[in-house]
Structure 1
Amino acid sequence: MAMTRGDLPTRYLTPEDVAELLAVPVQTLYQWRRKRTGPPAFRVGRHLRYDPAQLRAWIARLTTEAGAA
């Protein structure tokens, strides 16, 4: 897997990739998507994909919110 700064791949990520990076079950990602609380994703046909840059931004927002609480 090609990596960028911040240890995220340079290609679009599958739900399995994101689940592994976040150390959560894939099912959790699907639940977050239904609740609209998880990282933003998009569909390529019937396949769900995550943009590494958007994933990084989502993580940054979570850490910023956690620090403000």
Structure 2
Amino acid sequence: MSKPLLQLAALGLLGFSLWKVGSLFFIPLLFLAFKIALVVGIVLFAVWLFKRNDGKKASDSESGSS
């Protein structure tokens, strides 16, 4: 009966140590990836916004000169 209990304790200790290592390394990497994705999203939104406004101005100037 003590062998399953020791296996459970070893598994709990391993899980706890992996959680601590993960919180030190993986969580900051996750936030770094989130920041990069946020910056890329903002840049793509700005490009889309400027292209949309440029298209309206180009069509207005073409129709206005005719």
Q: Same fold (TM over 0.5)?
A: no
Structure with more of its chain in strand, by fraction:
1
Question: Could you state the TM-score of these two structures normalised by the residue count of structure 1?
Answer: 0.30
